[in-house]
Amino acid sequence: MENSLDTRERRSIANIQKLRFFPLPIVGGNGSYLVLEDGRRVLDMSGTWGAATLGYSHPTIVEAVTNSVSNMAGASSISSTSAPSVYLAEELLNLSPDPKNHRVWLGHCGSEANDAMVRAVTAATGRNRFISFIGGTHGGFTGGISISGYDALQINTESAARPGQIYIPYPDPYRPPFAGDVSTQVLSYFEYLLNTMAPPHQVAGVIIEGIMCDGGDIVPPPGFLSGLAELCKIHNILLIFDEVKVGLGRTGLMHSFDIEGVVPDLISYGKALGGGLPLAALIGPSYIMDNPKGLTVTTTQGNPIAASAGRAVLKTISSERLCDNAREVGSQLITGLKQLAEKHSLIGDIRGRGLVIGVDLVSDHESKRPADLECAKIVFRAQELGAVFFYVGSGSNVIELTPPINLNKKEAEEALQILDRAFEDVEHGRVADEDVAKYTGW
């Protein structure tokens, strides 16, 4: 259609900022649903990759943002003390392992937080190497990309690893990178590297997602995160938890490091923190976060409207007991997905925690070859049937569920029913290869 949003967008918005799975022309949203140009309401099981953590137009966010924009406390906190950013920083410190000695940096997105982390940590330690995990995503800005191990981000040489970067396998129980106990093997390999190629005096830090999302929603085996923390302590290396996608209640706990009682040195936040508005934070010890002054500054950092949204998100997670909700609704989804796996042999593995869940599609259960084409078709069909799912994984074959963490049980049931039909339709050849051909590339 000549005047459709998609046509107008093709003429106006650059492809370099697009990752698409199917047409999704949005004109509004409420709760867990998006409203499309043709008036259809679709259930958003991605929650905009986890950013819409309270869904769309949550009344607490609407009220906070409306008040803040009606009486703006400046537009930034870089050259002024802005009340909402101070209040938000104090509230974030209350979540940190060491509120007295930690400081908060505020920014716009997770990429920027991890970029700031790289700059602040290298400046403070004088070390410039990082260790990260193959499949990990830490951002789209130079600093974050340069420590990311997700192949879809390695698009050109500008996206390359930093000099001296070391990647290690994530302990994936479904496709283990080493024989034997995967957790022990990965930790031994990590220590072997420290004793050989990456001497600790060169290594500034290790960055990890407590559940690796874009790499395939991989949940590490119990004991891995605490084992890693222990080795970092022994070798005097900073441990950085990237909580951008799984932090702030999504796993059923406030942070993914809480799963094993780990105490990280630095924590990065993004996505959920703004509840859909651009907001991110980095928290760490003042010796890293305070020096040198002005190291990582952009004009609208600490923006009062975004900070007010962040405060509303933190307040709502607690007042609506959303960690509990993520646990309960997440376990309903896992149970329902396991029932689907009995009917649909494409499903090789289901894994997750709370409301971060991956459904790994395979062409056969023995080889576990990623069923990427079928995955693309299933999410395409699910959108036509009324629910938004995106996929992740280096094989582009893991349907990801990161819905709003206030998703209710009825909505979870609706998502399962739609997914069931989408599998059935694809199994019966009702989605053509051409339908999805133009959406490849992630």
Q: Which residues bind ligand PLP (CB under 6 A)?
A: 49, 109-111, 114, 137-140, 209, 213-214, 242, 244-245, 270-271
Q: Cβ of residue 256: shortest distance to ligand PLP, in angstroms?
A: 10
Q: With CA atoms as reference, report the closest residue to 130 among 212, 177, 190, 189.
A: 190
Q: Cβ of residue 342: shortest distance to ligand PLP, in angstroms?
A: 31
Return all residues near 432 (Cβ < 8 A) that are at least 6 apart: none
Q: Cβ of residue 85: shortest distance to ligand PLP, in angstroms?
A: 19
Residue nearer to ligand PLP on the CB measure, 110 or 252: 110
Residue nearer to ligand PLP on the CB measure, 259 or 373: 259
For 83, counting Cβ atoms within 10 Å of its Cβ (0-12 exposed, 13-18 middle, 19+ buried), the class is middle
Q: Cβ of residue 271: shortest distance to ligand PLP, in angstroms?
A: 5
Q: Cβ of residue 136: shortest distance to ligand PLP, in angstroms?
A: 7
**Cβ pair 369, 334 in contact under 8 A:** no
Instruction: Work out the number of other CB atoms within 10 angstroms of the CB of residue 277.
Output: 20
Chain residue whose CB lies nearest ligand PLP: 110
Q: Cβ of residue 101: shortest distance to ligand PLP, in angstroms?
A: 25
Residue nearer to ligand PLP on the CB measure, 47 or 139: 139
Residue nearer to ligand PLP on the CB measure, 88 or 109: 109
Residue nearer to ligand PLP on the CB measure, 270 or 275: 270
Residue nearer to ligand PLP on the CB measure, 336 or 358: 358
Q: How far apart are CA 135 and CA 149, in angstroms?
A: 5
